[in-house]
């Protein structure tokens, strides 16, 4: 159950920051870095390297788990009877923490703040591989975020040496820190105060679907998330109820949610953490007994692709089936390693007024990724858009992908029509501002 | 990056030791708010993180340890962690700073370097930091001084200190196990299992588990009371704490079915956790507890409950998906009802990384059965037209395996393979030929009509495996292929240059041909030529021996030779590519670990891993017991210390020592009677689900066979998942009798 340590590599594969592998031979981290770099080099196309790479060199065999963020590689080395999933969960958490501290995660910010990153590493991962404090609330007390440090530096004076005043570290949040750890609720520190109390919920539903050649939906899943942002004083105990909780199936909750209450009466009862967090994940499944068990897809694509020698022609028709306006509709087709160029014209049809123009969309061909991309920023309900074109290829029998990748967004809409009934607050007396927003998006694979 | 001139980026230049030393000394004189020291130390730490050796500064840096500024202190500690071990002769200089020298007067010391006695600092963060740093330095003089301090900290009033101290015990233990035991640290840790603070409990569990996983560590087992208390702490733990606690449930051996069942019901709730590692650890605990249950309906219910969270894991990033998929592959072999109806969740997307696609493909094949064979086949055909060669090959091969596994789908699969052969894409054709050979064996006399089509593509075959498969087909059906002698004659043209695999196939094929057409002069000449090559010009002993054997058989008694060479082959099945059940049971104890990724038990490929075994108890179900794999712990501590749970000792379950548990002989009669009850229950309900499962259920060989196999579970593991070549269909074992009643894997 142990993560040996964490290494951050720059885009060239050189280590920037690594945890202290004090219990390991000096070559140990290097071997893992090499194993990863070798695997990346061998990979035909970037990214398709096994996420768990077994390192057999040295007498102790281990593995490295890696993810890519902002061009850098974060790799966690694990050995013994370790769980790669814990490594990945930890990497995710750590990267999330970096985001919270620095806003963005890139080479420059990490180098500028290496001392904070290093401290974070020491606080979050114990040298024998146990993740320690990863809760944002507690961490910000032990390791000061960069903005706070600069503010405090001016005001702090080192108090009389050696006198155990207890107040000495106060301005460094030290007493607060013990407060955070002493708090019976690990995700929330005691004594938070806000002048303006509010909690916002963003319900985001994400459709993932595969549509077969014949236009029939093979698979479609809708994964929902309730993202929350809480700025509430004290210890607020909230109860969130829905008018139609049954649309949420296979739920997974933030640790703050009382699971027993959900099981009993389908209400979410919780003391929220401060700031942003994901309250719940769920899956939306259409009611049992429906003729079509798949969630209907809010657009349709008619694709005529004719493959010729050294290229081909296509006519693609996208039609909105949504009652709402769809935004940022994006269609991609990989034209094959040997594709050289593409030429297209855009037009739109149906529901009258549409005219050819930039407002209706744009297309491009990425000659490096060999990707044809078609974007429609704003797609009104039941309109049709057409892309006609051709592409050329270096080889006689071109091999484009047999699937279009389509992404879209629908603001103020949810597939499940999940509806919040009410949000009750107990344990505190103040009034709070409450807000709920819906948003949907999707990524489809449309085969032809 | 050169454009981004960050404030600290300049520290990344290679540091100069002397410069830093001078700066540190300068800082001693006039250092307002310790800012100078802080800046220098920051540079030094920056150099450490880059892997530059800063150890010559040891003496200078430790002078700063008394600085009453947390940031400075932290950096000194970071320095100590990096170099403390390599400076055993100087480390004693630091120890007084950590320690309180006299408990009555800890607040002020005259010597400036020993200003703060950090282990007794009023600030819990500093207390914790001090013991944590010390425990990182595995030098006897440090460990020695740490002992007393650690004991205090384990009972500190502040939970942050206690939880840190708990982890430190594991490190002290690593440094010297026997000494840590003598000093009573293990017992202290044990007492923390009933701490009020959930985080402390979780860390105590983590430390005890780490100790228990060592080959030379004390055995860490839980009794029912403690296991229940740990479960109660779940709700307030962080996700990491939950993982430790859930994982530790595998150290609890249920004595009664009801204990296991009650516990599982409390674990099921955790499947709703957002953290993927928590979910998978919960599943591991459930899979374990199911071994000790008898309530069939509950087991069924749990299996159903496990499916959706596993599918949800597939909506995560590709890395998590990959780990999840490898585990799912194991889980569905042992518990086929999990995800039984969810094959669609494993359909590959074009944009999936190749490692995800390959893992999904294997699961799709495992989940395929008559009801979904059409959908699965349609998907496989789709994949066979993709671009990635590796993926296409495996898709084609999966089509063939599907034909072998699901008889009603075989016709469609063959059609599809023929279509693929028409594409003339060489690697597609080769894969198709390889699987077709197995299909011929599985369905003798049914599909030989397609042989001419195969023969047309003979020239496309350039890979040994495909070539060997084609040669086998030619030899086996030599009586039905008109121009077979010509074809074989062409093929043996390069006999001496072929790889051994093809040579062996050719040798056998020409012998078969000769037996079919003994009159033909062409054939005679051909077989003579090949036998002569095999016995005279070839160095490979296998080939030579086989050549001699055929030659003599043909010379002594051709009719007996015919009987032997053309003997009826046992039917083949794909069921036996499933792993041995005993090994599966054991592997599933490692769900979510490296072992489950590589499908090997960790102790077989990772040094120092203690391994896990399913422990026998009266509650263990009979089928699991029959294939039980036991481990031997090679170096048990001579003075075995068994750690009992705190609180009252339960009279009925004292078996905390494994020896005792093992000596407890289960009562066969009791187990037998419960088993027959279950069967009755099943019959009353008319539950055909179990029968339906039997199609892809565990191939129920002789019980004896199973036990013998279980003795060496690793023997088959290497091959079982290595690749599709070793995963090929195997002859049916045990006479092919697959009776319905023991078959399903519920128990």
Burial class (CB in 10 A: 0-12, 13-18, 19+), A208: middle
ipTM of the complex: 0.80
What dihedral do alpha carbons A245, A247, A253, A259 form, nearest 10°? Answer: 50
pLDDT at B675 over 60: no
Task: Return the higher-pLDDT residue of B83 and A6.
Answer: A6
Among A22, A88, A177, select the one facing B125 at the smallest CB separation: A177
Residues of B in contact with A105 (CB under 8 A): none
Q: CB B274 to CB A157 under 8 A?
A: no
Q: CB B49 to CB A17 under 8 A?
A: yes
Which chain A residue is nearest to residue B13, measuring alpha carbons? A111
Q: Cβ contacts of residue B643 below 8 Å, gap of 6+?
A: B186, B187, B190, B208, B218, B219, B220, B221, B656
CA distance A42 to chain B (A): 14
Task: Return the higher-pLDDT residue of B188 and B134.
Answer: B188
Contacts by B206-209 with C-beta closer than 8 Å and gap 24+? B206/A1, B206/A130, B206/B166, B206/B167, B206/B170, B206/B241, B206/B244, B207/B166, B207/B167, B207/B169, B207/B170, B207/B173, B208/B248, B208/B643, B209/A1, B209/B244, B209/B247, B209/B248, B209/B251
**CA–CA separation, B645 vs B208, rounded Å?**
12
pLDDT tens profile A152-208: 544 443 433 333 333 333 333 333 344 445 566 777 877 788 889 999 999 999 999
CATH for A299-411 is 2.60.40.1170
- The phi, psi pair for A393, rounded to 5°, reads -140, 155
Most distant CA atoms of chain A, gap in Å: 85
Number of other residues whose CB lies within 10 A of the CB of residue B254? 26
Question: B14 touching A, CB under 8 A?
Answer: no
Confidence of residue B55 (pLDDT cuts 50, 70, 90): confident
pLDDT tens profile B604-658: 555 455 556 777 777 787 777 777 766 554 444 444 444 454 444 444 333 334 4
Question: A280 touching B, CB under 8 A?
Answer: yes
Residues A222, A205: contact at Cβ < 8 Å?
yes
Q: CB B209 to CB A22 under 8 A?
A: no
3-class SS shares of chain A: helix, strand, coil, % to 5: 20, 40, 40
Interface subset of B 666-695, CB within 8 angstroms of A = none
Give which of B740, B621, B747 is closest to B672, Cα–Cα: B621
Span B358-377, average pLDDT: 91
- The phi, psi pair for B722, rounded to 5°, reads -55, -40
Can you give the pLDDT at residue B173? 87
Give which of A436, A428, A422, A431 is closest to A197, Cα–Cα: A431
**CA–CA separation, B421 vs B428, rounded Å?**
7
Task: Return the higher-pLDDT residue of B322 and B140.
Answer: B322
pLDDT at B333 over 70: yes
Domain ranges of chain A: 5-146, 198-294+415-439, 299-411
Residues of A in contact with B107 (CB under 8 A): 162-164
CA distance A60 to chain B (A): 6
Most distant CA atoms of chain B, gap in Å: 111
Q: CB A114 to CB B320 under 8 A?
A: no
Residues A403, A428: contact at Cβ < 8 Å?
no
**CA–CA separation, A448 vs A211, rounded Å?**
9
- The phi, psi pair for A251, rounded to 5°, reads -75, 150
User: Among A66, A73, A83, which would you mutate to test the B interface (most chain B Cβ atoms within 10 Å of its Cβ)?
Assistant: A83
Interface subset of A 94-133, CB within 8 angstroms of B = 107-109, 111-115, 118-119, 122, 126-128, 130-132
Residues A199, A228: contact at Cβ < 8 Å?
yes
**CA–CA separation, B680 vs B429, rounded Å?**
51
Question: B17 touching A, CB under 8 A?
Answer: no
pLDDT at A300 over 50: yes
CA distance B592 to chain A (A): 5
CA distance B274 to chain A (A): 5
Number of other residues whose CB lies within 10 A of the CB of residue A55? 20
Least confident of A31-35, A133-137, A193-197: A133-137
Looking at domain A198-294+415-439, which CATH architecture does it have?
Answer: Sandwich (2.60)
Task: Tell me if residue B642 falls in helix, strand or coil.
Answer: strand
Give which of A145, A415, A142, A136 is closest to A254, Cα–Cα: A136
Same fold, A5-146 and A299-411: no
Residues of A in contact with B318 (CB under 8 A): 51
What percent of chain A stands above pLDDT 70? 83
Can you give the pLDDT at residue A42? 81
Interface subset of B 158-177, CB within 8 angstroms of A = 158-160, 163, 167, 170-171, 174
Among B74, B315, B590, select the one facing A119 at the smallest CB separation: B74
Span B389-410, average pLDDT: 90
**CA–CA separation, A108 vs A106, rounded Å?**
6
pLDDT at A227 over 90: yes
Task: Tell me if residue A349 falls in helix, strand or coil.
Answer: strand
C-alpha distances in angstroms, A27 versus A330, B80, B735?
Answer: 47, 20, 54
Can you give the pLDDT at residue B363? 92
Q: CB A336 to CB B387 under 8 A?
A: yes
pLDDT tens profile B451-488: 888 888 888 888 899 999 999 998 888 888 888 888 88
Interface subset of A 354-373, CB within 8 angstroms of B = none
pLDDT at B196 over 60: yes
Residues of A in contact with B247 (CB under 8 A): 1
Number of other residues whose CB lies within 10 A of the CB of residue A100? 14
Number of other residues whose CB lies within 10 A of the CB of residue B408? 11
Residues B335, B287: contact at Cβ < 8 Å?
yes
pLDDT at A43 over 90: no
Q: CB A114 to CB B276 under 8 A?
A: no
Can you give the pLDDT at residue B737? 39
pLDDT tens profile A232-277: 998 899 999 999 988 888 888 888 888 888 888 999 999 998 888 8
Q: CB A186 to CB B33 under 8 A?
A: no
pLDDT at B660 over 60: no
Confidence of residue B374 (pLDDT cuts 50, 70, 90): very high
pLDDT tens profile B73-95: 778 887 887 777 777 777 766 76
Q: CB B592 to CB A20 under 8 A?
A: no
Angle of helix B484-491 relative to helix B500-516, nearest 10 degrees, comes to 150
CATH for A5-146 is 3.30.450.60
Give which of A199, A203, A259 is closest to A226, Cα–Cα: A203
Residue-averaged pLDDT of chain A:
80
**CA–CA separation, A134 vs A86, rounded Å?**
13
């Amino acid at each position: 159950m142990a993560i040996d340590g964490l290494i951050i590599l720059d885009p060239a594969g050189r280590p920037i920051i690594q945890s202290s592998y004090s219990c390991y031979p000096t070559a140990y981290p290097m071997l893992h870095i090499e194993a990863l770099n070798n695997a990346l080099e061998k990979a035909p196309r970037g990214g398709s390297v096994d996420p768990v790479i077994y390192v057999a060199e040295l007498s102790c065999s281990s593995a490295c788990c890696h993810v890519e963020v902002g061009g850098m590689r974060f790799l966690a080395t694990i050995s013994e009877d370790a769980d790669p999933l814990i490594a990945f969960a930890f990497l995710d958490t750590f990267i999330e923490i970096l985001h919270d501290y620095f806003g963005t995660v890139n080479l420059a910010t990490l180098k500028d703040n290496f001392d904070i990153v290093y401290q974070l590493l020491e606080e979050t991962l114990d040298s024998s591989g146990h993740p320690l404090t990863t809760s944002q609330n507690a961490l910000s007390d032990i390791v000061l975020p960069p903005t706070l440090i600069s503010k405090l530096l001016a005001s702090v004076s080192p108090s009389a040496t050696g006198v155990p005043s207890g107040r000495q570290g106060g301005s460094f949040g030290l007493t607060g820190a013990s407060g955070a750890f002493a708090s019976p609720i690990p995700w929330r520190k005691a004594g938070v105060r806000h002048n303006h109390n509010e909690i916002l919920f963003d319900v985001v539903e994400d459709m993932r679907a595969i549509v077969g050649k014949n236009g029939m939906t093979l698979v479609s899943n809708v994964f929902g998330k309730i993202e929350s942002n809480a700025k509430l004083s004290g210890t607020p105990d909230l109860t969130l109820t829905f008018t139609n909780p049954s649309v949420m199936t296979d739920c997974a909750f933030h640790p703050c949610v009382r699971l027993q209450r959900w099981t009993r009466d389908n209400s979410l009862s919780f003391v929220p953490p401060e700031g942003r967090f994901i309250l719940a994940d769920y899956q939306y499944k259409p009611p049992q007994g429906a003729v079509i068990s798949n969630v209907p897809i809010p657009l349709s694509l008619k694709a005529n692709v004719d493959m010729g020698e050294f290229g081909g022609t296509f006519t693609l028709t996208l039609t909105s089936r949504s009652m709402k306006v769809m935004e940022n509709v994006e269609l991609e087709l990989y034209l094959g390693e040997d594709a050289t160029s593409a030429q297209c014209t855009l037009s739109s049809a149906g529901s009258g007024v549409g005219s050819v123009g930039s407002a209706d969309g744009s297309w491009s061909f990425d000659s490096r990724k060999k990707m044809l991309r078609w974007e429609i920023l704003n797609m009104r309900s039941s309109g049709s858009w057409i892309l006609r074109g051709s592409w050329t290829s270096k080889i006689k029998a071109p091999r484009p992908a047999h699937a279009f990748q389509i992404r879209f967004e629908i603001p103020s809409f949810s597939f499940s029509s999940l509806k919040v009934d009410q949000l009750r607050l107990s344990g505190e007396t103040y009034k709070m501002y409450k807000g709920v927003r819906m948003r949907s998006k999707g990524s489809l694979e449309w085969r032809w | 990056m050169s454009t981004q001139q960050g404030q600290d980026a300049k520290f990344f230049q290679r540091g100069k030791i002397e410069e830093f030393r001078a700066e540190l000394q300068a800082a001693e004189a006039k250092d307002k708010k310790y800012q100078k020291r802080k800046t220098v130390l920051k540079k030094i730490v920056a150099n450490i993180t880059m892997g530059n050796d800063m150890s010559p500064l040891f003496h200078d840096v430790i002078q700063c340890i008394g600085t009453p500024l947390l940031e400075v202190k932290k950096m000194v500690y970071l320095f100590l962690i990096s170099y403390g071990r390599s400076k055993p002769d100087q480390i004693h200089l630091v120890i007084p700073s950590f320690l309180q020298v006299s408990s009555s007067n800890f607040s002020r010391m005259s010597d400036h370097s020993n200003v703060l006695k950090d282990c007794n600092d009023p600030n819990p963060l500093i207390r914790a930091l001090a013991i944590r740093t010390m425990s990182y330095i595995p030098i006897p003089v440090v460990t020695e001084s740490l002992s007393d301090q650690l004991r205090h900290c384990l009972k500190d009033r502040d939970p942050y200190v206690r939880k840190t101290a708990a982890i430190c015990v594991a490190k002290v233990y690593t440094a010297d196990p026997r000494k840590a035991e003598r000093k009573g640290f293990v017992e202290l840790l044990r007492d923390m299992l009933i701490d009020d603070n959930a985080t402390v409990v979780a860390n105590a569990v983590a430390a005890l588990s780490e100790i228990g996983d060592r080959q030379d560590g004390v055995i860490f087992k839980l009794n029912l009371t403690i296991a229940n208390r740990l479960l109660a702490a779940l709700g307030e733990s962080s996700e990491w704490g939950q993982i430790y606690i859930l994982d530790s449930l595998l150290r609890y051996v249920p004595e009664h079915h009801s204990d296991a069942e009650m516990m599982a019901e409390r674990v099921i709730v955790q499947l709703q956790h957002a953290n993927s590692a928590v979910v998978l650890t919960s599943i591991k605990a459930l899979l374990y507890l199911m071994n000790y249950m008898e309530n069939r309906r509950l087991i069924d219910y749990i299996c159903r409950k496990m499916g959706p969270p596993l599918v949800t894991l597939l909506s995560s990033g590709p890395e998590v998906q990959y780990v999840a998929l490898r585990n799912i592959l194991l889980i569905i072999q042992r518990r086929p009802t999990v995800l039984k109806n969810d094959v669609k969740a494993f359909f590959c997307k074009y944009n999936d990384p190749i490692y995800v696609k390959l893992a999904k493909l294997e699961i799709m094949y495992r989940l395929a059965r008559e009801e979904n064979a059409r959908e699965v086949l349609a998907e496989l055909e789709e994949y066979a037209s993709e671009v990635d060669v590796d993926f296409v090959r495996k898709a084609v091969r999966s089509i063939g395996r599907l034909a072998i596994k699901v008889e009603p789908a075989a016709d469609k699969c063959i059609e599809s393979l023929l279509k693929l052969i028409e594409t003339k894409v060489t690697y597609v054709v080769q894969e198709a030929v390889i699987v077709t050979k197995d299909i011929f064996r599985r369905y003798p006399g049914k599909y030989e009509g397609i042989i001419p089509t195969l023969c047309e593509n003979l020239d496309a075959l350039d890979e040994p495996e495909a070539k060997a498969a084609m040669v086998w087909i030619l030899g086996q059906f030599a009586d039905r292929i008109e121009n077979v002698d010509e074809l074989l004659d062409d093929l043996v043209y390069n006999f001496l240059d072929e790889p051994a695999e093809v040579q062996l196939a050719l040798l056998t094929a020409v012998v078969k041909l000769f037996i079919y057409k003994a009159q033909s002069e062409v054939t005679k000449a051909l077989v003579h030529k090949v036998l002569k090559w095999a016995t005279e010009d070839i160095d490979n002993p296998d080939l030579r021996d086989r050549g001699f054997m055929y030659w003599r058989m043909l010379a002594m008694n051709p009719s007996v030779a015919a009987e032997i060479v053309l003997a009826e082959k046992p039917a083949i099945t794909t069921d036996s590519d499933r792993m041995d059940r005993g090994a599966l049971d054991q592997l599933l104890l490692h769900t979510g670990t490296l072992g489950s990724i590589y499908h090997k038990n960790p102790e077989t490929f990772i040094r120092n891993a203690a391994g896990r075994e399913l422990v026998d108890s009266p509650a263990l179900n009979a089928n699991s017991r029959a294939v039980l794999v036991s481990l031997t712990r090679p170096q048990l501590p001579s003075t075995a210390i068994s750690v009992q749970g705190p609180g009252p000792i339960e009279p009925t379950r004292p078996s905390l020592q494994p020896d005792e548990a093992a000596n407890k002989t289960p009562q066969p009669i009791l187990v037998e009677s419960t088993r027959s009850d279950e069967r009755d229950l099943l019959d009353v309900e008319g539950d055909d689900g179990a029968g339906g499962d039997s199609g892809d259920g565990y191939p129920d060989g002789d019980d004896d066979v199973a036990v013998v196999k279980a003795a060496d579970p690793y023997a088959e593991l290497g091959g079982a998942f290595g690749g599709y070549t070793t995963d090929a269909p195997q002859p049916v074992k045990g006479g092919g009798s697959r009776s319905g009643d023991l078959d399903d894997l519920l128990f």
